Structure 1
Amino acid sequence: MSKKIVLITGASSGIGKETAKELIREGHTVYCAARSLDKMKDLEQISGHPVAVDVTKQETISACVDKIIKEQGRIDVLFNNAGFGLYGSVEETTMEDARYQFEVNLFGLASVTQLVLPHMREKKSGTIINTSSVGGKVYTPLGAWYHATKHAVEGWSDCLRLEVKPFGINVVVIEPGFILTSFGSVLYEPLLQRSGKGPYQKLAHAVAKGIKEQNANTSSPPSVIAKTVLKAVNAANPEIRYAAGKFAKPLIFMRKWLGDKLYDRIIMSQVVK
């Protein structure tokens, strides 16, 4: 197995941090990008390379990519993992919040990719791994803006795959299911602030309760996704998609084969009990 130069965004916690640890243990050179350097001191201690990056700020992305090229001469793997989840009714979510969800989950991912691609093309090799979600294939109430970004990542990645394949570049989509990270806790309070007191309050409280219970009791550890990413990194010919983690494959199966109306009834029956 060749040792690779890897850039991971969103590496300060959860899936990103666990993946960085896994790849570092395997001997890869890993640049760990996130807004907070303090949260990546543990990665530095095990030979990671923390870099301060905000994927919504082009100048920080450019500085990061330039640093890696200057120090290593190439980037073999880009793991676009930075992202967050925004929940709330469509009616009560401000367009400012909705745009920021897209800025991080889609446009930030695209900005990093645009800057890395020329270097991969020059080497005629590389792997771009994008974190989508089972939420990029399914949908849940009050998650319109989050699901919209992840559905967009799916389609964007498919188009990119066709464009860059002639240059020897692989594009891989990771579709995590329920994973035990800060994702659920970050969703919970803002959801209730947006929709917990208005016309959607009954649904909002039911969804918030479900998120809290799911995050505590029915989630896979982030190491499950880290090992999946490692598999894609080490593969000479990686799969196009990897679905992993609690309920990922069953939910995708349901959405594909049950039809819209039956899927709607099943999802709502699990939310409003």
Structure 2
Amino acid sequence: MDKPVVIITGASSGFGLLSSIEFLKKGYFVVATMRDIQKKEQVIHQLHNPTLEGNLLFCQLDVTDADSLQAFQVILQRLGRVDILLNNAGFATGGFAEEISISEYRTQFETNFFGLIEVTKLVLPFMRQQRSGKIINLSSISAQIGFPGLSPYVASKYALEGWSESLQLELRPFGIDIALIEPGSYQTNIWSSGKKIAEKSMLSTSPYHEMMKKIEARLEKNQESYGDPLEVAKFITGLAEKPSLTKLRYPIGKGTRLSFFLKKSLPWKVWEGIVLKMLHIDRK
């Protein structure tokens, strides 16, 4: 393999799909993985350049399935090198904690956290032997800011960030960089892929019914202002091309940095009041 190799999980849509195309344009050999391999046509459709398909390898990969991970390990051994790993596979679930079962929390973590760890562990021997590589983990604004009605997703991203901090300290002696991309609100299908459990809280019998309606209304109202996901894809490829990374976290998106600053600077009661007021929720 004479081209740098990038592995992208969840490449059938959103940031993963767009990043695959951007990496191809920059001359990388892209291994685009997805749970449903039939969705590869979505990537080909948006590529608009058949000459680049020779540098594109589609692989079926379910990050929560042991057999799928084992089959993917064989592909990695054939490639013999990994320069970039973009851990993008994930989905979001919503609902209020009292109404969410432990099994539903586990399902969220299996993809967003444990599955990500499984894939990372597969590529680490290659990067460690090369004494180089970048692991780019798709995090979220939700990894720094909790939000009512989203606790499974928020918790999975908080866990990812803590794990990534430890991993960077472990891998620094081997010349491997870790990066956390923390997007704000972008026009992706994260809420339409995977499992949603907010329906329980939308039932009129739910004690959280009114709060859930207000949160849904806020999300729908803001959709028009969501950013273009291509911005994130271009940022990721630009980051990958840097000789080395000097930071761990990279917030991106309208208002993201300001939100992080205010959350860290303000007393909790003040911050809590701002969030609840934004959602038109009364604080007792």
Please state which band the TM-score falls in when normalised by the shorter chain: over 0.9
The separation in 1 between residues aligned to 2:267 and 2:59, in whole angstroms, is 45
Q: 5 Å matches for 1:1-273? A: 3-44=3-44, 46-47=52-53, 48-70=56-78, 72-185=79-192, 190-191=197-198, 193-197=199-203, 198-214=206-222, 216-238=223-245, 239-272=247-280
Q: Distance in 2 between matches of 1:188 and 1:257?
A: 35
CA contact (8 A) 1:102 1:149 kept: yes
1:88 is paired with a residue whose SS is coil
How far 1:36 moved relative to its partner?
Answer: 1.3
Per-residue deviation, 1:102: 0.6
What amino acid is aligned across from residue 112 of structure 1 in structure 2? V
Q: CA deviation at 1:235?
A: 0.5
SS of 1:91's partner is helix
Moved >4 Å (runs of 4+): 185-189
| CA RMSD in angstroms, aligned pairs only | 1.8
For residues 19-40 of structure 1, give each alpha carbon's deviation from its aligned partner in whole angstroms, at most 9, with x where no partner exists: 1111111111110111111222
1:37–1:104 CA distance, 2 compared to 1 (3 A): same
Unaligned segments of structure 1, at least 5 residues: none
Alpha-carbon distance in 2 for matches of 1:84, 1:259? 31
SS in structure 1 at match of 2:97: coil
Corresponding residue pairs, total: 269
Deviations 1:214-268 (A, max 9, x none): 2x31211111110111122101112322111232212111211112111111111
Q: Provide the rounded CA distance (Å) in 1 between the counterparts of 2:200 and 2:108.
A: 15
The amino acid of 1:205's aligned partner reads K
**How high is the TM-score relative to the length of structure 2?**
0.90
1:189 to 1:169, Cα distance in 2 relative to 1, 3 A: closer
CA distance in structure 2 between the partners assigned to 1:136 and 1:66 by the alignment: 33
Alignment-mate amino acid for residue 200 of structure 1: Y
Deviation at 1:207, TM superposition (A): 1.0
Following TM superposition, by how much is the alpha carbon of 1:6 offset from its aligned partner in structure 2, in angstroms?
0.3
User: Per the alignment, do residues 84 and 182 of structure 1 end up closer, same or farther by CA in structure 2, a change over 3 Å counting?
Assistant: same
Determine the C-alpha separation between the residues in 1 that align with 2:95 and 2:42.
Answer: 34
Q: Which has the larger radius of gyration?
A: 2
**In 2, Cα distance between equivalents of 1:111 and 1:159:** 16
Question: Which piece of structure 1 moves more, 139-148 or 151-160?
Answer: 139-148
1:128-171 Cα deviation digits (max 9, x unpaired):
11111011001111111211111111110000000011111111
Identity, in percent, stands at 34
8 Å contact 1:69–1:75 — kept in the other structure? no
Paired amino acid for 1:229: I
Structure 1 residue matching 2:228: 3-state secondary structure? coil
Tell me, what secondary structure is at the counterpart of 2:134?
A: strand
SS in 2 for 1:190: coil
Preserved contact between residue 12 and residue 42 of structure 2 (Cα < 8 Å) = no
